Structure 1
Amino acid sequence: MHITPSLPLLKRVPPGAWIALVWCASTLFTLLTRVRLPGELGPEEWPAAQLYRWDGLTITVLSTVLALYGGRLLVRRPLRALALLILASVFETTNLAAGGIPMAQYLAAMLALYFIAATRPRRTAATALVMALGTLVVYEATRLLRGWGVGTSAELAVALVTAIAWLLGNSAHQARVHAERMSAQTAAQAVTAERLRIAREMHDTVAHSIGIIALQAGAAARVATTQPEAAREAMRAVETTGRETLAGLRRMLVALRAADAGDGNGNAAEAEVRPAASLEDVDRLAEATTAAGVRVEVRRVGTPRQLPPDIDLSAFRIIQESVTNVVRHSGTHACRVTVDYGDDELALEVTDDGRGHGTSTDTGFGLAGMRERVALLHGEFSAAPRPEGGFRVAARLPVPAGVR
């Protein structure tokens, strides 16, 4: 069961709450700058007369209502919410007798602009930026046309901070989109890797079984008339191998379907599948191959021990694929398998005295699959004709220190 970690405390607060908090803080800051605080000879800004009259208080209350309502609309209707916050800033500024919209009164609009740029599509974010900057331009132009004083420098600073807020939000949006793309790419790569692993498993299983079936069927055909009992034995072996292969493929398909049919939490349902093949199955592999006409001699060096599942499975598949290649391509009737349990590595060797052409007529997945398995385990792999004749496949797989 996957447990989703809870969001950080700051991310649990909805955007509307942040807007309300910033608006209240900026309004309080504006009031504090217009009174003489301890240690000051006078207030930072001289208060306008309308700030304390009934009409000024009404405008302050109306602006606060617009700001709070705009904060509630920010998630559902972002552009309308930004328009209400800008309108609240303009209303509040009329109480201050200022030459431009002060920074404190525009903070809530800037924060809304950041949220829009961070969470909304590019077109919506661009429209919001035009609204925020356009309001500053229109406000200053209106004062100029009426012959009133303007605070150009202060308004340029407000415009600059507004643009920075949008850039920060846009950067957060791009980072989130990039993270989503990387997550999707990682998931796609994981699916591809899993499909390749399944393809290798199916190839290893089917190629070996079909090779054994072909040999048994050929032997049965040759002795069908002269040795009926031997022919029946060979066909029984064909039937057994075919059933085992079919059962293995069925188990693999069941596992895949179980993985696709997840539960409500997105977890894959568990399927009862037979444990994966391991080095314990080498003797069974040797018996089946020997019965098919190619004698397999298995030799173990060192003390057999429990290995990690990936190393155990890969080691068996390497031996299985090598023996299959001997059966299909070497033209010999015997091969030797050596499993060396070293202190810090597992060494595998499969040799034969055949033609020494390896998998020259193979489909191309045999040696490449073995080489890839060994590479994934950070091991060493070699496959080449022997100087004295025949072919040799060797692999060295490092064993983690905890299981040595």
Structure 2
Amino acid sequence: MPATPPLPPLKRVPPGAWIALVWFASTLFTLLTRVRLPGELEPEKWPAAQLYRWDGVTITVLSTAAALYGSRLLVRRPLLALALLILASVFETTDLAAGGIPMTQYLAAMLALYFIAATRPRRTAAIALVMALVTLVVYEATRLLRGWGVSTSAELAVALVTAIAWLLGNSAYQAHEHAERVRAQTAAQAVTEERLRIAREMHDTVAHSIGIIALQAGAAARVAATRPEAAREAMRAVETTGRETLAGLRRMLVALRAADVGHGDGTEAVPTAGLDDVDRLAAETTAAGVRVEVRRLGEPRPLPPDLDLSAFRIIQESVTNVVRHSGTDACRVTVDYADDVLALEVTDDGRGRGTSTDTGFGLAGMRERVALLHGEFSAAPRPEGGYRVAARLPVPEGVR
């Protein structure tokens, strides 16, 4: 039940903003290389004749506008965004008197290609790579056909870096896909393991109930002729125990039958716990350094074993999470015995994280327990700070 931690500051910047920033930085760098900087005898590259004229300024402004518009479209229409960025790079290059598209002018398109490869389906990423590489080939071929000079070596370097950007993005995409598959598989395994654990606990509960029924039925059979009243009392106990056991089975075993569970395999029995153990849990947790305040509302009453056990496990898991991850020294447990529902609430004033692991297995287990009992569950940070876990478990009519 973790509160999603905030993203690092750099991760909060959208991809389009990064591309726009790269475009401005590369354009500024291109202009700086065409003026004599301090310590230089002459500019690194001589500017084209039109660079500082009105037509050169117009080309720069139009190229920048196309690049910025492409940056805005990257998330919604990635291929169109890449086309605009490539067009802006080509258009800007015509203002530089260069034999090929410079690396600096193609950086924004390379970065867009990386984001597309990292976040989009393979078909879209492949089309984007073809667009980026074909543009370089067509640009050089056009200059050759017109008899203009070309920079073949420089363009090969640009093409190589473009392919590397795509490969890095594709690698990031594959890593993300693999992580998603692992998370899904791990979550499914966690749910299955939790169901098996619940089934083992239910096995103990049902075995105990059946044992009671067998003893009471045997006693009733022995005294049926000589002590009819005692026999009737024993049979009433059999009826009560049987009804409680059947109610628990109806709520639990139907949901658990999908799991391949076998009994009598030598598995160590899990001791049955319940809400009567909450005070002991609070005392142990307080001794560990986190004070637990227990508040009971309504009139406590006996509950079905499966309901009692699940309620205790939910409180136990929530308190354990407070101890491990909340960073606070106190929490509050509220058990409300309403007429038709058992309401549980665990709150703290800590950092707003509520899971004992980063994978959310605590949350998965509690949700599974509540779902099997047809209840309601919520876990989220509180507006005033800290974390709140709440569960509402319906109480069978026979024990209301």
Q: TM-score, length-normalised on structure 2? A: 0.61
> How do 1:235-246 and structure 2 match up within 5 A?
235-245=235-245
2-side partners of 1:136 and 1:34: how far apart? 23
How far the C-alpha of 1:243 sits from its partner, in A, is 4.6
Per the alignment, residue 207 of structure 2 pairs with 207
1:16 aligns with 2:16: yes
- Tell me the distance in 1 between the aligned counterparts of 2:31 and 2:38: 15
Deviations for 1:39-86, whole angstroms, at most 9, x for unmatched residues? 112111111112122211111111011001000111110000000000
Paired with 1:184 and 1:2, the residues of 2 have a C-alpha distance of: 17
For residues 209-358 of structure 1, the aligned pairs below 5 Å read 209-245=209-245, 275=274
Letter in structure 2 aligned against 1:150: V
Cross-structure match for 2:169: 169
SS in 2 for 1:44: coil
CA shift at 1:228, angstroms? 1.9
1:247 to partner: Cα distance: 6.5
1:271-328 CA distance string (max 9 Å, x none): xxx92587x9xxxxxxxxxxxxxxxxxxxxxxxxx879xxxxxxxxxxxxxxxxxxxx
1:47: which partner in 2? 47
- Distance in 2 between the 1:251 and 1:91 partners? 69
Runs ≥4 residues deviating over 3 A: 243-253
Mapped partners of 2:133, 2:172: distance in 1: 20
Against the structure 1 CA distance between its residues 277 and 214, is the aligned structure 2 distance closer, same or farther, given a 3 Å change threshold?
A: farther
| DSSP 3-state at the match of 1:51 | coil
Structure 2: which 5+ residue stretches go unaligned?
257-272, 286-400
CA positional deviation for 1:211: 2.9
SS of residue in 2 equivalent to 1:217? helix
Which string of whole-angstrom CA distances, capped at 9 and with x for unpartnered residues, describes residues 121-177 of structure 1? 111111101100111111111111222111111001101111111111111111222
Select the structure of larger CA radius of gyration.
1
Match of 1:138 in 2: 138
| Partner Cα distance (2:99, 2:15) in 1 | 30
Deviations, residues 343-378 of structure 1 (Å, cap 9, x unaligned): xxxxxxxxxxxxxxxxxxxxxxxxxxxxxxxxxxxx
Shift of 1:220: 2.1
Q: 1:48 to 1:133 in 2, by over 3 A?
A: same
2:41 and 2:160 mapped to 1: Cα distance? 31
* Equivalent in the alignment of 1:66: 66
Find the counterpart in structure 2 of residue 349 from structure 1.
none
Whole-angstrom CA distance in 1 between matches of 2:61 and 2:237 = 92
Q: Match of 1:53, as an amino acid?
A: R
The root-mean-square deviation of aligned C-alpha atoms, in Å, is 2.8
Q: Equivalences for 1:62-141 in 2 at 5 Å?
A: 62-141=62-141
**Post-superposition offset of 1:229:** 3.4
Q: Which runs of 5+ in 1 are unaligned?
A: 257-273, 281-305, 309-404
Alpha-carbon distance in 2 for matches of 1:247, 1:25? 70
Q: 1:208 to 1:307 in 2, by over 3 A?
A: farther
Residue 30 of structure 1: aligned partner: 30
Q: Distance in 1 between matches of 2:212 and 2:15?
A: 68
In the TM superposition, what is the alpha-carbon distance from 1:12 to its structure 2 partner? Answer: 1.1
SS of residue paired to 2:50: helix
CA distance in 1, matches of 2:152, 2:126: 24
Deviation at 1:88, TM superposition (A): 0.4
Residue in structure 1 matched with residue 371 of structure 2 by the alignment:
none
Partner amino acid, structure 2, of 1:158: V
Write the distance in 2 (CA, Å) between the matches of 1:239 and 1:277.
25
Identity of aligned residues (%): 87
Partner of 2:196: 196
* Higher-RCO chain (CA-CA 8 Å, sequence separation at least 6): 2
1:183 maps to a residue whose letter is R
CA distance in 2, matches of 1:243, 1:43: 93
Distance 2:168 2:101 in 1: 22
Q: CA deviation at 1:219?
A: 3.7
Q: Partner amino acid for 2:58?
A: T
Partner residue in 1 for 2:342: none
* Residue of structure 1 in register with 2:7 after alignment: 7
Q: 1 CA distance for matches of 2:217 and 2:5?
A: 59
Moved more, 62-71 or 207-216: 207-216
Distance 2:122 2:250 in 1: 49
Q: Classify the secondary structure of the residue corresponding to 1:35.
A: coil
Letter of the 1:89 partner, please give it.
S
Length, aligned pairs only = 266
Spell out, residue by residue over 1:75-102, the C-alpha distance to the aligned partner (whole angstroms, 9 max, x if none): 1100000000000000000111111100
Pick closer, same or farther for the CA change 1:183–1:277 going to 2, 3 Å.
farther
Shifted more, 237-246 versus 58-67: the winner is 237-246
SS in 2 for 1:50: coil
* Superposition deviation, residue 119 in structure 1: 1.0
Distance across 2 between alignment mates of 1:18 and 1:39: 31
